[in-house]
Amino acid sequence: MATSTSTSEHANKQASLYRMVMDKHLCPYGLKSKDLLERNGFEVDDHHLTSRDETEAFKSKHDVETTPQTFIDGQRIGGYDELREHFGEDVPEEGATSYKPVVAIFATAALMALATSWAAYGELLTVRAAEWFIAMSMCILAIQKLQDLESFSTMFLNYDLLAQKVVRYGYIYPFGEALAGILMIAGALTWLSVPVALFIGTVGAVSVFKAVYIDKREIKCACVGGNSNVPLGFVSLTENLMMIAMALWMMMK
């Protein structure tokens, strides 16, 4: 694998890129490779592979399994990930855990809550903004789960104590979270939203605490959907504690 090289060292250099450009298929990684090269000061000799036969012939000639392929100074760098590494970018390993999805969700929910507060009251920092943040976070997290309910319910079974006893609960949970969040945004039907949030939040918090802090298990969390790489732990516990806190707050109001 080529070592990282600075942008200045490559300024105005030539690179050859071979990528699939067909009538019914345009390789997205080929476009990304071309953009990355140009952003690093390269003039790109852009070779289009316009058919499957041409692509297979290219792969056979260079003994590679995939395209695109980039060549710099006659040396093959590789595909898009190898090109990123060549320029010193960090490329996460496949299946590596990451908190990015959760950060994106909570940051977006916070901005939505502040925007709603500004629209409703002309102020950013209000009690309702805090309530909306939790409720909107619940809704967004529920959407993530509902995108692939089957995958979510399967991953959920790894740690949720109630779902392990009543498997169908894994299918119901996202709907309950969405329902409670929507009602809390509206401030309506508190008699329904509070017990739903309190129940699923409490069961979830106990389940996560047992799996992570008592059993010391290292598994992935289903909190942002069944195909996520978010590790089960503090973030998962926070989601459930937020629901409990919101339910208790709405109850006191």
Every domain of the chain with CATH number 3.40.30.10 lies at: 8-86
SS3 at position 70: strand
Does residue 11 carry a pLDDT above 70? no
Cα–Cα distance, 189 to 222 (Å, whole number): 28
pLDDT at 238: 84
Q: Is the pTM of this model over 0.85?
A: no
- Per-residue model confidence (pLDDT) at position 96: 60
Mean pLDDT for the chain overall: 88
Rounded CA separation 98/118 (Å): 32
Cβ-based neighbour number of residue 18 at 10 Å: 23
**Residue 178, CA distances (Å) to 11, 35, 79, 196, 223 in order:** 52, 40, 41, 10, 13
Please tell me the class of the 8-86 domain: alpha beta
pLDDT 10s digits, 74-117: 899 999 999 999 998 877 666 566 678 888 999 999 999 999 99
List the one residue out of 37, 133, 102 whose CA is nearest residue 236: 102
- Residue-wise pLDDT for 30-53, tens only, equals 999 999 999 999 999 999 999 999
pLDDT tens for each residue of 147-160: 999 999 998 998 99
* Cis amide bond preceding 174, omega within 30: no
H/E run at residue 135: helix 127-146
| Separation of alpha carbons 222 and 215, rounded Å | 18
